[in-house]
């Protein structure tokens, strides 16, 4: 199977890239599950962009991003990406996204989220990701040059060496719904694989978010950066000891308050911005209150808003809570921090360029430096669109001027090729049960060692256990191998940063300073 462009991932970044590429190119989009299943479609809050020039500015958006990123953002990338915000919103509107407007339809309705100094969140109620993704997916399905392949999981990259001795990517090795693994070759390969939340026990991410893109790129020779910065969303719905869904930060933007079980508000004690502080600060504040008082969760109260208003502005949150017997017009919502977003990933320029020729990375799998040590709310969907459009322009220009890379029979995999048997390694029930147990063990290990707080002892223990797990792998355990590689990258990055910064909190920080 050969394409001009192979896009691995069908979230917002992948679909925006497919639609932005020239229609004369043959494009294949691989979907790990169905095309509808992705983290982008689960995004509630919205897209950050400066749309009110009278009361806001690109510079203000830049400064809010730099502050939230705890001094580790790459400022040129921040400025380049945020400057394209209005154009990205206009492109989405042209693609059929109907963002909420003011009652008189004179302008877009803007809301506010933590870390933002102004209202600049463009949204579709609290279902922004779903609305945007559905609009772009419909456009992709209408394009004859775009082929969406559901149930196709890329697990390794195909690489080779060109005439100058430089490594280039020629596609990916893919598990299919039926039949043996298959090589999908392409002139250009795009990683749009999203996040890695599923390496933790509790996450807002869908089951497909296992970090495959980071693992594949690392083995192919790409630099991986900022992996220690895993953002924990402060307010995941907490039911029976588990995360049951995301409670959008936009509620706090509309006045929701975080409370202890007795009704006491606690955020003003932790930060002068209170509930509108950046996510890392709010998440740590909640965690510290939970630890100090032996709580399983805290409460988020939006009951000061009328029921009709809540139903109109937050229908998804209203329905999610109602399914668990919570009436948000009356009852406070039980919430706790939960693994949510990877600020780091494959080192990439704003146009998706990576260290490997022919391999591009966009969206959450990439690390441009926009997020630094902590992502500012709603900057991620903007990054997906801006990177996708910039990358499409670059690929189009490259294809117009380049000679095709030779597709030799000796293309390399980053690890030995799989045995060509039935569609996956899970050919027996016993193996499936064993594999599921290994995944749960890995999640528990990461939640303990690299969750909200880290320490040298816990990270060292995790390193030893991950090394042991890697040595026990069979050659066909592709999914677990990718997860272990990603976990090793997170743990190694966390070990190498002894001081707390942004989303990375070391409880042994003082010991590190003394040493």
Domains within the chain, CATH numbers bracketed: 2-228+343-401 (3.50.50.60), 234-340 (3.90.700.10), 425-514 (1.20.58.100)
Q: What is the pLDDT of residue 409?
A: 43
Q: What is the pLDDT of residue 423?
A: 42
What stretch of H or E contains 7?
A: strand 2-8
What average pLDDT does the chain have? 92
Q: What is the pLDDT of residue 232?
A: 96
Q: Which tens digit of pLDDT belongs to each residue from 87-97?
A: 999 999 999 99
Q: What is the pLDDT of residue 77?
A: 98
Question: Residue 86: is it exposed, middle or buried by C-beta count within 10 angstroms (0-12/13-18/19+)?
Answer: middle
**Conformation bin of residue 227: beta by default, left when phi > 0, alpha when psi is -120 to 50:** alpha
Nearest CA among 470, 468, 472, 466 for reference residue 450: 466
Q: Which tens digit of pLDDT belongs to each residue from 10-24?
A: 999 999 999 999 999
| Cβ–Cβ under 8 Å, residues 29 and 147 | yes
Q: What sections of 97-151 are H helices per DSSP?
A: 128-141
Q: What is the DSSP letter of 376?
A: P
**Distance between CA atoms of residues 395 and 388, nearest Å:** 10
Q: What is the pLDDT of residue 162?
A: 74
Q: Over pLDDT 90: what percentage of the chain?
A: 82
Kindly name the residue from 120, 127, 252, 279 that is annotated as catalytic: 279
Q: What is the pLDDT of residue 406?
A: 53
112 counts as catalytic: no
| pLDDT above 50: residue 124 | yes
| pLDDT above 80: residue 513 | no
Nearest CA among 101, 46, 126, 132 for reference residue 312: 126
Beta strands in 343-466 (DSSP E): 345-347, 359-361, 366-367, 412-413
Q: At what angle do helices 456-471 and 429-449 cross, to 10 degrees?
A: 160
**What are the structure tokens assigned to 380, written together?**
């991620």
Overall residue count recorded for the chain in this entry: 515
Q: What is the pLDDT of residue 76?
A: 98
The residues, ordered by sequence, that sit 6+ positions from 46 with a Cβ below 8 Å of its Cβ are 111, 113, 121, 122, 123, 124, 128, 250, 378, 381
Q: For 120-134, 156-170, 477-491, which range has the lowest pLDDT when averaged over its residues?
A: 156-170
Strand partners, 237: 335
| Cβ–Cβ under 8 Å, residues 199 and 190 | no
Nearest CA among 186, 205, 181 for reference residue 422: 181
Q: What is the pLDDT of residue 419?
A: 45
The residues, ordered by sequence, that sit 6+ positions from 243 with a Cβ below 8 Å of its Cβ are 202, 203, 204, 236, 237, 336, 338
Average pLDDT rounded to a whole number, residues 98-115: 92
Average pLDDT rounded to a whole number, residues 352-368: 97
| pLDDT above 60: residue 416 | no
Among 31-40, 243-252, 485-494, the range with the most confident prediction by mean pLDDT is 485-494
| pLDDT above 50: residue 203 | yes
Nearest CA among 370, 418, 491, 407 for reference residue 48: 370
Categorize the per-residue pLDDT at 500 as very low, low, confident or very high, splitting at 50, 70 and 90.
very high
Neighbour count for residue 14 (Cβ, 10 Å): 31
Q: β-strand 298-301 against 257-259: which pairing, if any?
A: antiparallel
| pLDDT above 60: residue 261 | yes
* Residue 389 phi, psi dihedral angles, 5° rounding: -70, -40
Q: What is the pLDDT of residue 414?
A: 52
212: helix, coil or strand? helix
**What are the structure tokens assigned to 416, written together?**
């030995």
Angle at 426 between CA 420 and CA 432, to 5 degrees: 165
CA quadruple 210, 214, 217, 221: dihedral positive or negative? negative
Q: What is the pLDDT of residue 109?
A: 94
Q: What is the DSSP letter of 353?
A: B
**Distance between CA atoms of residues 355 and 360, nearest Å:** 9
Neighbour count for residue 304 (Cβ, 10 Å): 10
Nearest CA among 233, 299, 303, 294 for reference residue 260: 299
Lookup result for tokens 């004369």: 24
C-alpha distances in Å from residue 466, one per residue of 295, 462, 475, 492:
30, 6, 16, 11
Average pLDDT rounded to a whole number, residues 494-500: 96
Average pLDDT rounded to a whole number, residues 174-194: 95
* pTM of this structure: 0.92
Q: Which tens digit of pLDDT belongs to each residue from 301-357?
A: 999 999 999 999 999 999 999 999 999 999 999 999 999 999 999 999 999 999 999
Q: Over pLDDT 70: what percentage of the chain?
A: 93
The residues, ordered by sequence, that sit 6+ positions from 303 with a Cβ below 8 Å of its Cβ are 328, 329, 330, 331, 332
Q: What is the DSSP letter of 504?
A: B
**What are the structure tokens assigned to 218, written together?**
């690392």
Q: What is the pLDDT of residue 407?
A: 52
């Amino acid at each position: 199977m050969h394409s001009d462009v192979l896009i691995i991932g069908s979230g917002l970044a992948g679909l925006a890239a497919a639609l932005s590429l020239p229609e004369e190119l043959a494009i294949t989009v691989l979907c790990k599950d169905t095309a509808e299943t992705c983290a982008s479609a689960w995004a509630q809050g919205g897209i950050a962009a400066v749309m009110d020039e009278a009361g806001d500015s690109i510079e203000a958006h830049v400064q809010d991003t730099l502050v939230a990123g705890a001094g580790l953002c790459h400022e040129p990338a921040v400025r380049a990406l945020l400057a394209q915000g209005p154009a990205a919103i206009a492109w989405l509107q042209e693609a059929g996204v109907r963002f909420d407007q003011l009652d008189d339809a004179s302008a877009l309705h803007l809301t506010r989220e933590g870390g933002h100094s102004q209202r600049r969140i463009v949204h579709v109620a609290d279902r922004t990701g779903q609305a945007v993704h559905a609009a772009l997916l419909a456009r992709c399905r209408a394009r004859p040059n775009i082929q969406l392949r559901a149930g196709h999981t890329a697990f390794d990259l195909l690489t080779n060496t060109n005439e100058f001795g430089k490594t280039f990517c020629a596609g990916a090795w893919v598990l299919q719904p039926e039949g043996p693994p298959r090589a999908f070759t392409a002139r250009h390969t795009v990683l749009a694989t999203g996040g890695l939340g599923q390496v933790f026990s509790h996450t807002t991410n869908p089951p497909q978010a296992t970090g495959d893109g980071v693992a594949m790129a690392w083995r192919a020779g790409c630099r991986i950066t900022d992996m220690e910065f895993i953002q924990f969303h402060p307010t995941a719905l907490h039911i029976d000891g588990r995360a049951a869904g995301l409670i959008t930060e936009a509620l706090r933007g509309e006045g929701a308050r975080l409370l202890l079980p007795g009704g006491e508000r606690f955020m003003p004690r932790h930060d002068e911005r209170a509930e509108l502080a950046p996510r890392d600060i709010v998440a740590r504040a909640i965690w510290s209150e939970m630890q100090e008082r032996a709580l399983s969760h805290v409460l988020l109260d939006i009951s000061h808003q009328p029921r009709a208003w809540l139903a109109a502005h937050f229908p998804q949150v209203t329905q999610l809570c109602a399914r668990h017997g919570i009436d948000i017009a009356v009852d406070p919502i039980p919430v706790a921090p939960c693994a949510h977003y990877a600020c780091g990933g494959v080192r990439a320029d704003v146009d998706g360029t990576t260290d490997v020729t022919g391999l591009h990375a966009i969206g959450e799998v990439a690390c441009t430096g926009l997020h630094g040590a902590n992502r500012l709310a709603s900057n991620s969907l903007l990054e997906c669109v801006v990177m996708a459009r910039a990358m499409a322009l670059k690929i189009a220009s490259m294809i117009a001027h380049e000679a095709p890379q030779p597709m030799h029979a000796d293309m390399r995999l980053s690890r030995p090729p799989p045995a060509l048997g039935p569609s996956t390694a899970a050919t027996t029930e016993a193996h499936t049960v064993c594999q599921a147990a290994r995944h749960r063990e890995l999640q528990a290990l990461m939640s303990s060692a690299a969750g909200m707080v880290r320490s040298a002892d816990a990270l060292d223990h995790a390193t030893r256990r991950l090394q042991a797990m890697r040595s026990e792998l069979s050659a066909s355990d592709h999914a677990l191998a990718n997860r272990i590689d990603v976990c090793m990258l997170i743990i190694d990055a966390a070990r190498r940063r002894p001081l707390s910064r942004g989303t990375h909190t070391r409880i042994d920080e003082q010991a590190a300073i003394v040493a």
